[in-house]
Amino acid sequence: MRIDPIELEPKQTLFRDYKKNFEKIADRFGHAPFDKKMWNHRLSELKEQTYQRTALSEVLLTMNRRWRAPEKTLESVDKLKDEESVVIIAGQQAGLLTGPLYSVHKIISVLQLAKEKERDLGKPVIPVFWIAGEDHDFDEIHHVMMNQGGEMRKRTIAHTPESKASVSDIAIDQTKASDWLKQVFQLVKETEHTQDFYKKMDRLLRASKTYTDFFAKVVYYLFPDEGLVLMDAHHPDIRRLESPYFTTMIHQNDEIARGVYAMLQKNRQEGYETMLDSEWSDAHLFYHKEGERILLVRDEQGRFVGKNNEVVLTKEEMLKIAEESPEFLSNNVVTRPLMQEALFPVLAFIGGPGEINYWSALKPAFEATGLCMPPVFPRLSFTMIDRKTGQQLERLQLSTKEAIHGGVREQKLNWIASQSTPPISRLTEQVKNEIDRVHAPLREKSASLSTDLGELAEKNLEYLLGHIDFLEKRLQRSMEERHQHEMEQFDNIEVTLHPAGGLQERMWSIVPWVNHYGRTVFEQINRHHLSFENDHYVVYL
């Protein structure tokens, strides 16, 4: 395995400035991520905060034992009781088989930074991954994308929950899940790892009650020796620990909402994309009623109401719920980072480009609740290249960087055009120009006789040129069939490195890679030292 850094220009303006011109947006964040002097300042901030370390450790221990977590994870949980210990944290929804590759990339990022900071600071630094089990958008996690015939297609589980329940509350339909898993593995080529991999995933699936359970078990299968700690944010015992923090969010609700709204307006006025939508009236909290998760807003009387009036609660009622039944509340994207900061001694948070975009509006929310905004680090980003694809890149003399950033469709068209002298497109263009020239007197004469004849002549030209277009496509197809082997190479490079016009990590899952290279493939990546200052890494397998 070889890992090389490459530069990829970020597509989002704000994320580009975050990495390259941080001073332009420094006022939106608590710390400059790549300032080495920042770490001691952050440690001093954490010493000013108090945490429910023992209670949190006990909840995490129970939770992780239920997932049959590795012994090193349980040791990490115990370290949390140490007043000197801190955490590096990231989070994601509980995708099937971990979902897109960027979920695994986040985990590697957490492990890398935790290891680096523990060495640099001489303190226990615990890697934590926050599973957003409270999320209720099942459509976001109910599938994996698989390469079928050179295109990435969804393989969706045939399970439709009866309500908009949180993912951690949705029981797995074992029959449908088993059928789905078989379908997924039918799409991979048989290797020495296939049967063991499939049987292990099948056992983990059958041992899981919910999709969050399955996610956790798969992660520990991939990373058994790293001391990674997983947490289901929707667990009732976690909610009870969050009770006093919900109370603060309810008291400061108006200030949180107005501060975030104002910062979003500033981002828009300075030309930055906004990944977050927020209004003054947003409560940034959910209320759980009869198995459904209802987003709350504040009305003119200061009450907390569902957007469709599903529920109406006074501030006093909300405070009582926070104190006595916090399991009926959960956070949205604005308040989740606040809850994370209140629960854990966060040395740094790791997020993707979209997360960093909406974190840029959250500093007023941290200040409103008396919390210090943690350093925000961009996660590591990877593209994996198997040996076959690597050989194709070399044989066709294609730039790896260009293939990852923009794909190879244009190069494919140019290559096939070069196999014809003159190129078919140039030949057909010449023929079209000649037809237009020869046909011009007919059009002029027709137009001079009547408007109807003039229009008929124009349509006649379109008809003739349409036949040339048809012939061009048939000639192109014939050329592609003659050079089918090379066309398939271009198509494989495109779907592997730039699927659906984007990065591999947003479409591909772990399945083809573990199937081909074994369960340790992501552990092997993590064994390398990877700098967060690089834009992207290419992993040659």
pLDDT at 404: 97
Average pLDDT of span 143-157 = 95
Average pLDDT of span 379-404 = 97
State pLDDT tens for residues 35-49.
999 999 999 999 999
Short-list 89, 188, 191, CA closest to 130: 89
Exposed/middle/buried for 268, CB within 10 Å: 0-12, 13-18, 19+? exposed
Angstrom CA distances, 413 to 105, 409, 489, 490, stand at: 33, 6, 13, 10
State pLDDT tens for residues 89-124.
999 999 999 999 999 999 999 999 999 999 999 999
In the chain, the amino acid numbered 273 is E
pLDDT at 263: 97
Angstrom CA distances, 86 to 76, 79, 109, 159, 423, stand at: 11, 9, 16, 39, 63
Beta bridge partners, 479, equal none
Average pLDDT of span 157-182 = 92
- Give the number of C-alpha atoms closer than 13 A to the C-alpha of residue 361, restricted to the C-beta side: 28
Name which residue leads in pLDDT, 439 or 421. 439
Angstrom CA distances, 484 to 433, 472, 487, 490, stand at: 31, 18, 5, 10
Measured CA to CA, the distance from residue 315 to residue 251 in angstroms comes to: 8
Continuous segment of H or E residues that includes residue 420: none
pLDDT level of residue 421 (50, 70, 90 thresholds) = low
User: CA 142, 148, 150 angle in degrees (round to 5)?
Assistant: 130
pLDDT level of residue 252 (50, 70, 90 thresholds) = very high
Residue corresponding to tokens 């997983």: 230
Measured CA to CA, the distance from residue 81 to residue 55 in angstroms comes to: 9
pLDDT level of residue 320 (50, 70, 90 thresholds) = very high
* Its pTM surpasses 0.85: yes
pLDDT level of residue 164 (50, 70, 90 thresholds) = confident
Exposed/middle/buried for 390, CB within 10 Å: 0-12, 13-18, 19+? middle
pLDDT at 415: 81
Short-list 405, 404, 402, CA closest to 414: 402
pLDDT at 58: 98
Residue corresponding to tokens 């048989």: 190
State pLDDT tens for residues 21-78.
999 999 999 999 999 999 999 999 999 999 999 999 999 999 999 999 999 999 999 9
pLDDT at 175: 96
State pLDDT tens for residues 360-376.
999 999 999 999 999 99
Average pLDDT of span 428-435 = 82
Measured CA to CA, the distance from residue 409 to residue 493 in angstroms comes to: 10
pLDDT at 535: 85
Average pLDDT taken over every residue of the chain: 94
Residue corresponding to tokens 């009622």: 317
Contact 92, 131 (CB under 8 A): yes
Measured CA to CA, the distance from residue 234 to residue 182 in angstroms comes to: 29
pLDDT level of residue 163 (50, 70, 90 thresholds) = confident
pLDDT cut 90: percent of the chain above it:
86
Q: Answer yes or no: is pLDDT of 260 > 80.
A: yes
Angstrom CA distances, 450 to 229, 444, 445, 447, stand at: 81, 10, 9, 5
Measured CA to CA, the distance from residue 131 to residue 233 in angstroms comes to: 6
84 phi and psi, to 5 degrees? Answer: -90, -15
Measured CA to CA, the distance from residue 268 to residue 246 in angstroms comes to: 29
pLDDT at 536: 96
Angstrom CA distances, 458 to 162, 218, 484, stand at: 58, 64, 38
State pLDDT tens for residues 447-472.
999 999 999 999 999 999 999 999 88
Residue corresponding to tokens 């923009």: 406
Domain ranges of the chain: 241-270+278-327, 409-514
Measured CA to CA, the distance from residue 541 to residue 538 in angstroms comes to: 10
Name which residue leads in pLDDT, 427 or 511. 511
Q: Answer yes or no: is pLDDT of 339 > 90.
A: yes
**Which region among 68-72, 254-258, 386-390, 435-439 has the lowest average model confidence (pLDDT)?**
435-439
Burial string for 318-328 (b: 16+ CB within 10 Å, else e) reads beebbeeebbe
Name which residue leads in pLDDT, 418 or 138. 138
Residues making up the chain, counted from first to last: 541
Short-list 333, 396, 342, CA closest to 369: 342
Average pLDDT of span 141-154 = 94
